[in-house]
Structure 1
Amino acid sequence: MLQHPLLVAPIGRTILRLAAPNVMAMLATLATSMAEVWYVGHMGTAALAGLALAFPMYMLNLMIAAGSMGGAVSGAIAQRLGANDRAGAEALAFHALVLAAVLSLVASAIFLTLGPRIYGALGGQGAVLEQALAYSGALFAGCITLWLAKTLAGIVRATGRMGVSARLLMTGSAVQVVVAGALVFGIGPLPALGIAGAAAGAVAGFGVSTLLLLHFLIRRCPELTLRLSGIPLRLSVFADLLRVGALASISPFTSIGTVLAITGLVARLGPDALAGYGIGARLEFLMIPLVFGFGAATITMVGVHFGARAYGRGHRIAWTAAGMSALMTGAIGGLMALFPGLWADLFTDVEAVRETCRLYLRIAGPFYALFGFGQCLYFASQGARRMLWPVIGSLLRFLTVVAGGAVLVAQGGLEAEGIFHLIVLSLVAYATVTAVAIWRGAWMRGVVAVPAQ
């Protein structure tokens, strides 16, 4: 029986080799998102504030589809491939696609029917609420393309074909930039949809990526073949995916909940402060795709090693990747803390908005390294299929912000500086709990260690 090549590949070089295309794809996502904000920024402060309300819901679906469920899919399939079980991997791939379609319909139903209540509860009103609903409505009418594209990319990454998934996702990002710009401003015969055009561009871009990824997995992937028929649906397989994916999905909810709690606090300071925080927080959101570049490589590598019962080497992979991720996010955060205008001044010329964004970056930026470290360990835990403690860490981050926010409100001296220091405290709690739990053996409960390969 052939041994999986990742079991003997050099750890550091292999992480970088597998992560590089993912990071490039995520940089394309970053550029796409920046273009989207630039488009919307031309529509005024109300549109930017509306985007600040709606964008977390977009990121929630993106993080669950790509990071939580997609990571669970990648980890499960990688373990099957590490154990030389191709048939099991193919069955998981088909069930994952079906599950993604069902979950996308659930997401659409929730946000298309409850959107006004959700964004209203977050402080949206008047023109700001109208803009948030326009973006959200267009996005969730077609979010099935997002769910399918991210799930299919997770299947491809489980095979180790990081370059393929990256190229096909980048193609979709390029389509998104062009279509979004054309629809926001109404170029040529296309209608000017305003902020809704930005969301429609995202739907179109993910749709293109979905078609390309399907073609690769059905026709060209040597490690497994995605079969759309002939595989009976089994509840036990869905349950296996959901056992890890549902637990992992708590983390995106708490991450979004953390941002929404901060958003609710900042909204009390007025539209300019809300728009400024929205621009600054987008940088933190965009750290997630960048960390996912290393995280996706780690899911596959840890999954293959745990499938082959090479647990010690799997742990070394996780720590190495987390360190690399911390260096990357720390460098970006540190740069933005030193020169916050590089980010704040890109999207608006309203000085009050810029000043809030600069303040956020000066306070939170230096601690982005902790965010990158904790997030990469979260992804690595999906490869190990041991998600409890990373989820507890994310819950603690959320509770830190909620409890701290309640104290600030009760004291009656709510200011942006105090709110942003809460973010720092929550990042310290998140990274510390996750790292200590894994170091103390959280991944090894119920398994018997064997010598590393």
Structure 2
Amino acid sequence: MADDQPQPRQPTPTAPALSARTRRILEGPVAPTLLRLALPNLGEAAARIAFISFDAVFVGWIGTDALAGVSLAFPFFLLMQMTSASGLGAGVNGAVARAMGAGRRDDAAAIAWHAVLLALAIGGVFTLLMLAGGPWLYAALGATGGGLAAAVTYSAIVFGGVVAVWLMNLMANIVRGTGNMLVPATAIMAGEAVHLALSPTLILGLGPVPQMGVAGAALAVVASYATGAMVLAWHLLSGRGEIRLAAARPEHRHFAAILGVGVPAALNVVQAQATMIVATGYAAAFGTVALAGYGAAARLDLLQIPLTFAMGSAVIAMVATSVGAGRLDRARRVAWTGAGLGVLIGAIFAAVAVFLPEGWMGLFSDDPAAIAAGADYLRRVGPSYPVLGLGLGLFFSLLGLGRAKAPFLAGTLRLAVVALGGWAAIHWLGGDLRMLALVIAAAALAFTLAMLAVAAATRELRR
């Protein structure tokens, strides 16, 4: 009978083909794997810190007008850098990692191409906006004479080349999404080496190079990002990585995979900058000494961010890869391990703030009044650093899960506490910088409590 005939064997479903690097992310011990991934990012963090610090030093050689003009334009450039690296870049990192975790390398490569298209488009738009509106913007902010001329010159060059910034940062996050943190860190450090070498040469005119002043400083910045972008482009185009960059037909789903997380994450970056600007404005209301003390003390706050981001990039990649592979249990373990590391990083900075505040302040000022004001601020705000580290750790985990709206709301709460609490401290309570420190600490606590509430409501993060 026909039923007695042997039936052909049905093919068994095959597991998706995963690269060796992806398997290590999915199968290696959580904490050592996370630390191994994050380690190269520390070099990148050092390069970012050097860029921010030395750019001001180099420009200061030219004169007061140059320093004033660049100081006016630089925050807008820095916002562009942060928005591309940890804003839209987080969306790229997570989208590529989820595709890699699911074994969909073709989708990961297509997402990479869409990220490059976004870098070209967004960078081009900001170039046009700042070339057209930059001079008006800087004049509206109060720049005049030589300071205005310096701001316009510096801005025209750095924003004329801002596509290189977007390309470098989004391509860096493409590679991070594949689980490779070493190549992006190497590219960014190579770019900073170019910046350190070119800046004095172009600014002062060493050897056969003519003195270019502010224009030379701006060209060195663009060259540094172009260098990093070329290193990353070579890696992605050569096929030496997990995926090869190649042109693909634009698809809505790939843009949506990036922008669904990247846009809210970018708004979080803007939010964080707004929080710092508001706090600085309130510190200025307490007088010049308080502002000087706050400005030096707040540099410790700023240093916590790139180091936490070094860990956070690895958390996004590991969580997203685990989600793509359907390993929600592992995504949960990575998330809470990352949160614990965020607490540890915060605790290190808290120790400096609480036990060595005068030593920290002495690095930036020799004014006893400013040192005392900054030290008082640090003693009060310092204990909140580990609390903020916990909240930031959960923030990166949620980005890895593709959830960016709730962290945005938590950041809104933090900004509101600083804005309203600072206003109350000045106008209702007649407080000083020490009270502002308590308001900023309370804002960090509110942010982290909101993030813990989100984590409790997120199925993938419930213990």
Asked if structure 2 preserves the Cα contact closer than 8 Å seen for 1:101 and 1:147, the reply is: yes
Partner residue in 1 for 2:318: 301
Aligned CA RMSD, in angstroms, stands at 3.2
Following superposition, the deviation at residue 323 of structure 1 comes to 1.1
Task: Report the TM-score when normalising by structure 2.
Answer: 0.84
Following superposition, the deviation at residue 287 of structure 1 comes to 2.3
Cα distance, 1:147–1:293 mapped onto 2, change above 3 Å: same
Cα distance, 1:434–1:112 mapped onto 2, change above 3 Å: farther
Partner residue in 2 for 1:174: 193
1:289-319 per-position Cα deviation (integer Å, ceiling 9, x unaligned): 2111111111111011101111121011011
Following superposition, the deviation at residue 368 of structure 1 comes to 2.2
What is the alpha-carbon distance in structure 2 between the residues aligned to residue 350 and residue 41 of structure 1?
Answer: 21
Cα distance, 1:264–1:51 mapped onto 2, change above 3 Å: farther
The reply on whether 1:332 has 2:339 as its aligned counterpart is no
Following superposition, the deviation at residue 258 of structure 1 comes to 0.5
Q: 2:100 aligns with which of 66, 81, 85?
A: 81
Q: Which moved more, 1:109-118 or 1:89-98?
A: 109-118
Partner residue in 1 for 2:254: 237
Asked if structure 2 preserves the Cα contact closer than 8 Å seen for 1:381 and 1:443, the reply is: no
Task: Report the TM-score when normalising by structure 1.
Answer: 0.86
Following superposition, the deviation at residue 260 of structure 1 comes to 1.4
Partner residue in 1 for 2:12: none
What is the alpha-carbon distance in structure 2 between the residues aligned to residue 367 and residue 134 of structure 1?
Answer: 40
Cα distance, 1:43–1:147 mapped onto 2, change above 3 Å: same
Counterparts in 2 of 1:42-441, with a 5 A limit?
Answer: 54-115=73-134, 136-190=155-209, 197-227=216-246, 229=247, 231-269=248-286, 274=291, 276-347=293-364, 357-411=374-428, 413=430, 415-441=432-458
One-letter code aligned to 1:79? R
- Ranges in structure 1 where 5+ consecutive residues have no aligned partner: none
How many residue pairs match? The answer is 444
Q: Which moved more, 1:107-116 or 1:429-438?
A: 107-116
What is the alpha-carbon distance in structure 1 between the residues aligned to residue 347 and residue 138 of structure 2?
Answer: 32
What is the alpha-carbon distance in structure 2 between the residues aligned to residue 67 and residue 221 of structure 1?
Answer: 25
Q: Which has the higher contact order (CA 8 A, sep 6+)?
A: 1
Partner residue in 1 for 2:8: none
What is the alpha-carbon distance in structure 1 between the residues aligned to residue 290 and residue 366 of structure 2?
Answer: 14
Q: Which moved more, 1:212-221 or 1:365-374?
A: 365-374
Cα distance, 1:347–1:192 mapped onto 2, change above 3 Å: farther
- Ranges in structure 2 where 5+ consecutive residues have no aligned partner: 1-14
Rg (Cα) greater in structure = 2
1:106-137 per-position Cα deviation (integer Å, ceiling 9, x unaligned): 33344444446656777878887776666544
What is the alpha-carbon distance in structure 1 between the residues aligned to residue 378 and residue 153 of structure 2?
Answer: 29
Following superposition, the deviation at residue 382 of structure 1 comes to 1.7
Asked if structure 1 preserves the Cα contact closer than 8 Å seen for 2:352 and 2:360, the reply is: no
Asked if structure 1 preserves the Cα contact closer than 8 Å seen for 2:319 and 2:401, the reply is: yes
Asked if structure 1 preserves the Cα contact closer than 8 Å seen for 2:426 and 2:432, the reply is: no
Asked if structure 2 preserves the Cα contact closer than 8 Å seen for 1:52 and 1:274, the reply is: no
One-letter code aligned to 1:210? A
What is the alpha-carbon distance in structure 2 between the residues aligned to residue 161 and residue 325 of structure 1?
Answer: 21
